[in-house]
Chain A
């Protein structure tokens, strides 16, 4: 069964750049699509963007100007960079694996345990 493990700095200052990594075990990242999702404390889930190692990325337009997703196939890792941080970016950040349903559309089937990010000076 695939294991996803997010990691990151925990605390980041306003205006700085957040860098997170999702390490994937028991599956090649090249075989699937991958998304980042975040959840502010006590609130709902918000999709950040999607990546495939052999295709183009798709980002939420609300974050597109600040987001970059990339992959390191040699380490089997997915990465997220989010620039110009504000308090509103404080959240738990999850990576998730996606696979195709019978009609070929992508859905989330496995999630990491999440990593807490706090934006504060």
Chain B
């Protein structure tokens, strides 16, 4: 199985801050990487696919980059509604696997 490692596991930030979350795959996955946002008690919401393509309706302050084994999710200016847990996921090979999550909390 491909292991997906996210860092940090949690972070504290203020509204307006630039936030960067990293995801590393245990082997190369090309750009077959997605990011999800999950709020407490809610289903995950798809944000980004193909490492850098925004899902329809996702605000432009979210962006993704990377290829191969190293990927980044950036929130350019953190908004109150962005406080949540973020997961990366590889869809390059079976079984599909997720990172352990990064919780973004209010400072």
The answer to whether A35 and B96 have CB atoms under 8 Å apart is yes
Known A45-B44, A45-B89; contact A108-B98, beta-carbon cutoff 8 A? no
A109 within 8 A of B: yes
Chain B residues near A62 (CB-CB < 8 A): 95
B50 and A111 within 8 A (CB): no
- Is the CB–CB distance between A102 and B50 below 8 Å? yes
Neighbour of B46 across the interface among A46, A50, A103, A111, CB < 8 A: A111
A108 contacts which chain B residues (CB < 8 A)? 34, 36, 44, 46, 49, 89, 91
**Residues of A77-121 contacting chain B, CB below 8 A:** 94, 101-103, 105-114
Contact in complex: A103, B50 (CB < 8 Å) = yes
- What A residues does B101 contact at CB under 8 A? 44
Chain A residues within 8 Å of B98, by CB? 44-47
Give Cα A109–Cα B44 distance, bound, in whole angstroms. Answer: 10
Given A106-B91, A107-B50, A47-B44 contact (CB < 8 Å): no
B45 on the A face (CB < 8 A): yes
Interface size, chain B (Cβ < 8 Å) = 26
Among B49, B95, B98, the one with the most A-chain Cβ atoms within 10 Å of its Cβ is B95
Q: How far is the CA of A7 from the CA of B106 in the complex (A)?
A: 34
Distance, CA A107 to CA B32, complexed state (A): 8
Q: Which residue of A lies closest to B4 (CB)?
A: A44
Contact with A along B87-102 (1 / 0, CB 8 A): 1010110111111110
Chain A minimum-CB-distance residue to B50: A101
Question: What 6 pairs across the A-B complex have the smallest Cβ distances?
Answer: A47-B96, A107-B49, A60-B95, A45-B98, A101-B50, A111-B43
List 5 interface pairs A-B (beta carbons < 8 Å), by A numbering: A60-B96, A102-B50, A103-B50, A107-B91, A109-B46
